[in-house]
Amino acid sequence: MSANTYDAIVIGSGISGGWAAKELTEKGLKTIMLERGRNIEHIKDYVNANKDPWEFPHRGGRTQKMIDDYPVLKRDYPLNEVNLDYWASDKDSPYTETKRFDWFRGYHVGGRSLMWGRQSYRWADVDFEANLKDGIAVDWPIRYKDIAPWYSYAEKFAGISGNKDGLAILPDGDFMPPMDMNVVEKDVAKRLKDHYKEARDMIIGRTANITVPHNNRTNCQYRNKCWLGCPFGAYFSTQSATLPAAMATGNLTVRPWSIVTKILYDKDTRKAKGVEVLDAETNQTYEYFAKIVFVNASTINSAWILMNSATDVWEGGLGSSSGELGHNLMDHHLGVGASGRYEGFEDKYYFGRRANGFYIPRFANLGGDKRDFIRGFGYQGGASREGWSRDIAELNVGGAFKDALTEPGSWQVGMGGFGETLPYHENKVTLDKTRKDKWGLPVVAIDAELKDNEKKMRIAMEAEGKAMLEAAGVKDVQTHSTNPFLGRGIHEMGTARMGRDPKTSVLNEWNQVWDAKNVFVTDGSAMTSAACQNPSLTYMALTARAANYAVEALKKNEI
């Protein structure tokens, strides 16, 4: 066995890559995890995590230099002073936007598991059955019962706090104790339940922040600084959870600065034999070999690797025989919501910075609800007291103004929708061979847009948000509907979808590439539809399930 030979290769170290590494190493496989960017060591490298707000020269804001350096990241909230180092350089790694697509990336060990939003929801049968019932795209090859035990498995290890709300649309999981809603959120939730006669719910967010100590991790300290990296390991990330578990087996090797340029495909065995790596620091090329390859490079980059692989056999790359590789790109569309002022509870506040909010699960097109679009949307939001904003002319400068700055303003309630995007064949990524990145590699071209179904849904998202807040007694309700573009949900999905038929899907029910059975793709690219729930928990469950299958199949010499 040569120095570059392992039992398994995992490409990528984010949420799903970390899970693949943990599962495969715990089952005894010598595994190498390849990460294209630098290493970030747990706690030690969270350089800003213990800084106070006044220690940032621009108090967290963005400078003109940052805006010039990050032409894509500047389009939304991720561009900021506090965790700038966690976002990939738009200039080193450009991409072509045939249509606008806001692609926010994390190129380092841990990937976006360091900066993710942590909201963790199970899907329900209505989500897995949706394509079949609507007669669009292809049917999911699995149902809720196939993934339910793996949801439990993922939740128990990751640590998901949440309430068992008993909702059919949002199955309960194996939760840690929930975080609290504040007084106003509780009141709004009750009023909504009454007004909509229990057909709509507002629940505390289910989040991958632990509320009790777990696996040598300290419970959440309510700092709300998660995306700086947590010195307490209180939220799930590769660094806090899967990486230490994988390292503890003694079976894991992590290689940062390793850009996987292709999967090496063996025509005779019709399997992958390894991968080719470009060292991002030295520009040297290496080959690594293994019995199985897990592709977890994130939806668009996983498609990029597959499209670059086995092109002597299939012009469109490994997994392209169906004609679906790179197609069906989805995201959750957002930027639509409502907010207003809540009167009352002036004698109440909250203490601590809760890294969580409320969640309103999908209600559209469920039960008796019928719309002029298919599928639905959920909302995330919160209630808080704003700072000084009372506009009293004579109090706008001077000592009285200064005093007033210490007084909390009125309660505000706000929420934003997350809408399901349908899988459209024509929403796609392709290779743009006319353009190269810093390493001379061809870039991707992204060609995707919202269509009629999403546009109609956005109108409803705005109107329902207003209607619900008003029904809950919220005053001066304002709505917003901005930037109808894909990508900014940072929930890319679908470029190597699972299915039941190799003619119409890239992966089978076990996330195996139909055209190379020892290649498993278990990140967002595997998703056959998008639902409207945050998807990462589903990636975790799919990855653990696929890894279990892969090891069993290896034992039986099936792959």
Partner 1 sequence: MHRRTAIRNLALIIGGAALLPACMQEKGKATVALKNVDINAEQETLVGDIAETIIPKTNTPGAKDLDLHLFVLKMLDDCYKKEEQQSFMTGMAQFTDAVKKKYNKTFADLPVKQREEMLLGIEADKDPKSTALPKELKTFYGIIKGQTVNGYTNSKYFMTKQVVYELVPGRYNARFPYKQKQSA
| Phi/psi of residue 23, nearest 5 degrees | -65, -45
CA distance linking residue 289 with residue 329, whole number of Å:
30
Among 135, 216, 312, 351, binds partner 1 (CB under 8 A): 351
Could you give the C-alpha distances from 557 to 120, 193, 295, 453, 533, in angstroms and in order?
Answer: 35, 54, 21, 46, 37
CA distance linking residue 450 with residue 419, whole number of Å:
11
CB of 85 to partner 1, least distance (A): 18
Among 91, 353, 425, 438, binds partner 1 (CB under 8 A): 353
CB of 406 to partner 1, least distance (A): 5
Could you give the C-alpha distances from 221 to 118, 225, 388, 450, 540, in angstroms and in order?
Answer: 15, 10, 27, 39, 25
Q: How many residues bind partner 1 (CB under 8 A)?
A: 47
Judge whether 12 and 235 are in contact, CB under 8 Å. no
Q: Which residues pair with 287 in a beta bridge?
A: 276
CA nearest to 381, candidates 519, 513, 474, 510: 474
Question: Which of the ranges 60-68, 137-145, 325-333, 550-558 carries the binding residues for partner 1, by CB under 8 A?
Answer: 60-68
Verify binding: residue 134, partner 1, rule CB under 8 A. Answer: no
What residues numbered 370-409 form the site for partner 1, per CB under 8 A? 387, 393-394, 396-408
CB of 174 to partner 1, least distance (A): 22
Could you give the C-alpha distances from 274 to 120, 290, 293, 295, in angstroms and in order?
Answer: 33, 5, 7, 11
Which of residues 65 and 197 has its CB atom nearest to partner 1 in the complex?
65
What region, left, alpha or beta, does residue 510 occupy, with left being phi > 0 and alpha being psi -120 to 50 degrees? alpha
Among 145, 166, 347, 370, binds partner 1 (CB under 8 A): 347
Which of residues 354 and 362 has its CB atom nearest to partner 1 in the complex?
354
Interface pattern 158-197 for partner 1 (x via CB under 8 A): ---------------------xxxxx--x-----------
CA distance linking residue 292 with residue 273, whole number of Å:
8
Question: Which of the ranges 55-63, 190-198, 438-446, 473-481 carries the binding residues for partner 1, by CB under 8 A?
Answer: 55-63
Verify binding: residue 77, partner 1, rule CB under 8 A. Answer: no
Question: Which of the ranges 54-62, 318-326, 361-369, 520-528 carries the binding residues for partner 1, by CB under 8 A?
Answer: 54-62
CB of 141 to partner 1, least distance (A): 41
Among 4, 50, 283, 285, binds partner 1 (CB under 8 A): 50
Interface pattern 283-322 for partner 1 (x via CB under 8 A): ----------------------------------------
CB of 222 to partner 1, least distance (A): 4
Which of residues 54 and 556 has its CB atom nearest to partner 1 in the complex?
54
Which of residues 231 and 473 has its CB atom nearest to partner 1 in the complex?
231
Q: Angle at CA 509, nearest 5°, toward 259 and 146?
A: 115
CB of 70 to partner 1, least distance (A): 14
Which of residues 43 and 247 has its CB atom nearest to partner 1 in the complex?
43
41: Cβ contacts below 8 Å, ≥ 6 apart: 239
Verify binding: residue 354, partner 1, rule CB under 8 A. Answer: yes
What residues numbered 216-275 form the site for partner 1, per CB under 8 A? 221-223
525: Cβ contacts below 8 Å, ≥ 6 apart: 295, 298, 299, 300, 302, 303, 492, 493, 494, 495, 496, 497, 506
Verify binding: residue 64, partner 1, rule CB under 8 A. Answer: yes
Of all helices (H) and strands (E), which one includes residue 518?
Answer: strand 516-521
DSSP reduced 3-state for 336: strand
521: Cβ contacts below 8 Å, ≥ 6 apart: 294, 295, 296, 302, 306, 319, 496, 506, 507, 511, 513
Question: Which of the ranges 35-43, 49-57, 409-417, 507-515 carries the binding residues for partner 1, by CB under 8 A?
Answer: 49-57
CB of 361 to partner 1, least distance (A): 21
Verify binding: residue 282, partner 1, rule CB under 8 A. Answer: no
DSSP reduced 3-state for 382: strand
DSSP reduced 3-state for 471: helix
Among 1, 2, 3, 54, binds partner 1 (CB under 8 A): 54
* E strands in 129-168: none
CA distance linking residue 492 with residue 179, whole number of Å:
28
CB of 347 to partner 1, least distance (A): 6
CA distance linking residue 319 with residue 169, whole number of Å:
33
Residues at the contact surface with partner 1, assessed by CB under 8 A:
50, 52-55, 57-59, 61-65, 179-183, 186, 221-223, 346-354, 387, 393-394, 396-408
